Amino acid sequence: MPGLIRALERALTADRVFGDAAGRTAYEFDASLAHGRPRAVVLPESAAEVCRVVGVAREFDLPVVPRGAGTGLSGGAIPSQGGIVVAFTRMDRILDVDRRDRRALVEPGVVNDHLTTAAAKHGLYYAPDPSSQRICTLGGNVAENSGGAHCLAHGTTTNYVLGLEVALAGSELVWLGSDAGDAAGYDLRGAMVGSEGTLGIVTKIALRLRRAPEAVRTLLAAFTGVRAAGEAVTEIIAAGILPVALELVDGMTARAVEEALHAGFPPDAGAVLLVEIEGVEDGLDAEMERIEAICAGSATTTRRAETESERAALWRGRKGARTVLGNLRPDYYVHDAVVPRSRLPDALEAIEVVAAKHQMLVATYLHAGDGNLHPNVLFDAADPAEFERAMQAGSEILHFCLDLGGVLSGEHGIGLEKRGYMDAVLAPADQAAMRSVGAAFDPQDRLNPGKIFADPPGG
């Protein structure tokens, strides 16, 4: 479509428009199992350029798919219907860090960890910390309402977004929210967070920052199995203790992490629990002693991180868990259902039952404090029979979590991967109401179409 490419080159510059097969290939995939080829890829450098690209898409009646770093796990950045991928690689500037108001203004292509580094110079930090923190972008985090290991006490992305500059389907540029976090009228800022690029394209983000804590304590507890570790999680919360992080890693994952990263995980553990608390120095050790006492009832061993390097190693292990699973099998199929915290032991045992039934390796880690599970079904996609068993196992695990009163996604989003499950959790009238919101923002269904909802409804 040479006319499309010429129009995009006029909207941007020729060196930031890719229409050849080689230039588009890298944008066919994200971290999910899905793929799709765009007609063109563009690298805008400003909100005005994004609006011009949206105008070109409207002229040629093509979809527009925003893309950050491609770390998404639900197919949200996949151009499943072709169209134009808007990659935010060059909109990666931290525009302001305001120490007095604890606020940052960033472009969507800023890497999450880069904001953390910039804020640290002012004694501040940005709390949402996905496992892909070192490479994922803040625009993608907003699109998926990403969480992370330290969101148990502090909340997910939506709790930190004060305002958003957004390019709408009609090429208008609007600001939603305010520096104060509240605005008159409907909470369109809240609607935009987690909408997976289907309502608008985020071009600037105003974010709330937190003051760095005075002190931190981190504990590793090892257990014989996932049920014992899950029960310890429930007991900690029931005792009125709210850690900033409460992460569980099963034995398979712990061994893979230790072999690859030497993080300090006991290689013979059936499950590992990481607990972190923070606050003022006085009283923090006493609170950690309460946690240790709870864990000691069933843990085989407990160990505090005595130095910052030990703490960093433990978190390197937890956040590197998905990466090292590639040493066990070439491919993975991961869900991120959330179950009531009290049902975690049941969910974890059910995962083991499903794995045995389908003769699959399933490695599980989770944000245990809020019940957000990440079971990774490991397989070799080159084996069609094994691929089919992996899909069946993943589906059964997800349905079991729903039967426990859970929800489809805690932070990965619905995207392409889970849209077929929406009928299991939302009535037709509920979905119709949500679709009407999408139609109000994007009546031609041009912004990241085919995501979240099955098309046609119920299909």
Spatial contact of 250 and 364, defined as CB atoms under 8 Å apart: yes
Is 199 inside any structural domain?
yes
Is 445 inside any structural domain?
no
Residue 284 shares a structural domain with residue 313: yes
Number of structural domains found in the chain: 4
Report the distance separating Cα 21 and Cα 194, nearest Å: 31
Residue 19 shares a structural domain with residue 109: no
Spatial contact of 26 and 3, defined as CB atoms under 8 Å apart: no
Is 436 inside any structural domain?
no
Residue 207 shares a structural domain with residue 219: no
- Point out the domain boundary residue: 187, 211, 235: 211
How does DSSP classify residue 212? P
Residue 207 shares a structural domain with residue 121: yes
459 residues of the chain, pLDDT tens digit each: 789 999 999 999 999 999 999 999 999 999 999 999 999 999 999 999 999 999 999 999 999 999 999 999 999 999 999 999 999 999 999 999 999 999 999 999 999 999 999 999 999 999 999 999 999 999 999 999 999 999 999 999 999 999 999 999 999 999 999 877 677 899 999 999 999 999 999 999 999 999 999 999 999 999 999 999 999 999 999 999 999 999 999 999 999 999 999 999 999 999 999 999 999 999 999 999 999 999 999 999 999 999 999 999 999 999 999 999 999 999 999 999 999 999 999 999 999 999 999 999 999 999 999 999 999 999 999 999 999 999 999 999 999 999 999 999 999 999 999 999 999 999 999 999 999 999 999 999 999 999 999 876 655
* CA torsion through residues 344, 345, 347, 351, sign: positive
Spatial contact of 303 and 275, defined as CB atoms under 8 Å apart: no
Residue 101 shares a structural domain with residue 195: yes
CATH number for the domain spanning 65: value is: 3.30.43.10
Residue 44 shares a structural domain with residue 135: no
For 393, residues 6+ apart whose C-beta sits below 8 A from its C-beta are 333, 354, 355, 357, 358, 360, 362, 377
Spatial contact of 174 and 118, defined as CB atoms under 8 Å apart: no
CATH number for the domain spanning 189: value is: 3.30.465.10
Residue 237 shares a structural domain with residue 315: yes
Residue 71 shares a structural domain with residue 147: no
CATH number for the domain spanning 274: value is: 3.30.70.2190
Residue 103 shares a structural domain with residue 201: yes
Residue 201 shares a structural domain with residue 126: yes
Is 418 inside any structural domain?
no
Angle at alpha carbon of residue 376, lines to 35 and 248, rounded to 5°: 140
- Point out the domain boundary residue: 362, 386, 403: 403
Residue 113 shares a structural domain with residue 191: yes
Is 152 inside any structural domain?
yes
Is 81 inside any structural domain?
yes
Domain with 236 in it: 215-322
pTM of the model: 0.95
Residue 68 shares a structural domain with residue 119: no
Q: How far is CA 357 from CA 40, 259, 351, 386, in A?
A: 44, 27, 10, 13
